[in-house]
Amino acid sequence: MEDVRIAAVQMQSSVGEISKNLKKMEEFIKKAHAQTVDIICFPELSIQGYTLKKAKDLAEPLHGQSCNYLQGLSEKHNIIILAGLIEKSESKPFITQAVIYPDGRIDKYRKTHLGVTEQHYFRPADKVKTFSYSKAKFGIQLCFDCHFPEVTTIQALQGAEVVFLPHATPMSLEKRKESWLKYLPARAYDNSLYLVTCNHYGDNGEGINYQGGCMVFDPLGNLIAETSDKDEEMLVVTLKSSKLDSIRKNKSDLMRNRFYLESRRPEIYGEIIKNIEND
């Protein structure tokens, strides 16, 4: 990994107002370019807005009009864009985070774990994956995915040095912070990687009000930056390779600074793949 400059955005995405949402994303992309950002991450379903009942009608293919528009911005501003998309499929749509590269490539991460309210409207993906570019390897998880520690571990084992966590979390400010600070530091610490999370802000047009939230955790689980939670905002942070290397290359003699995954014993973890049996 090299030093990576990232931007995490909390923004209001109005359901169905795709042009308006894209224009707002464009303004954040321009600001990120001015601050020499390498990767900018927008919230879950930021393109169409987070919706359930309208999801099928608003769905677009990955290489559709919206992502092609963002690809032009990616190329123009030389920045990787992670944008939330209701992705069209033959049956139910996917909750997708498009990965848009300046060289014209458009890749995707599809949500693997759906919340109870989402299961009627969306289909889950069956693949955990990571992405690469010249400076770093990174993973993506979408909101509910983050509650399953196995996902982060798999991505770390695949080589991820940074994991982006786009959310659509309508909790109150206090409850959202309390929740995130319980498990996100552990995901970063146990897997020795950076975590970058972002969330929607404001009313989505369907009566759901979001209170924002962007946070960045270092590989020791320390919260190193967060937004003010008072408006639409962009958090820009340089993720230092030296902090990651000191752990993953075992340059420290302290146990708390070791790369724990190197000491795994997968031969005794068989129980983890068994389903819970309910009485």
Dihedral angle, C-alpha 207, 84, 182, 192, nearest 10 °: -170
Q: Give the span between the Cα atoms of 40 and 236, in whole angstroms.
A: 9
Residue 83: which of 48, 55, 59, 58 has the closest Cα?
Answer: 48
3-state secondary structure of 53: coil
Say how many Å lie between the first and final Cα of the chain, rounded.
47
Q: What are phi and psi of 7, to 5 degrees?
A: -130, 130
Residue 29: which of 72, 65, 58 has the closest Cα?
Answer: 72
3-state secondary structure of 56: helix
List strands edge to edge, sheet with 233-239. 106-110, 94-100, 80-87, 39-41, 4-10, 233-239
Q: Quick one: pLDDT at residue 276?
A: 74
Bridge partners (DSSP) of residue 67 are none
Bridge partners (DSSP) of residue 91 are none
Would you write out the chain's pLDDT as a tens digit for each of its 279 residues? 999 999 999 999 999 999 999 999 999 999 999 999 999 999 999 999 999 999 999 999 999 999 999 999 999 999 999 999 999 999 999 999 999 999 999 999 999 999 999 999 999 999 999 999 999 999 999 999 999 999 999 999 999 999 999 999 999 889 999 999 999 999 999 999 999 999 999 999 999 999 999 999 999 999 999 998 789 999 999 999 999 988 888 655 666 667 889 889 999 999 988 887 665
In 3-state terms the chain splits into helix, strand, coil percentages (rounded to 5) of: 30, 25, 45
For the domain made up of 4-273, the CATH class stated in words is alpha beta
Taking residue 149's Cβ as centre, other Cβ atoms within 10 Å add up to 14
How, if at all, do strands 162-166 and 137-140 pair? parallel
Q: Quick one: pLDDT at residue 262?
A: 87
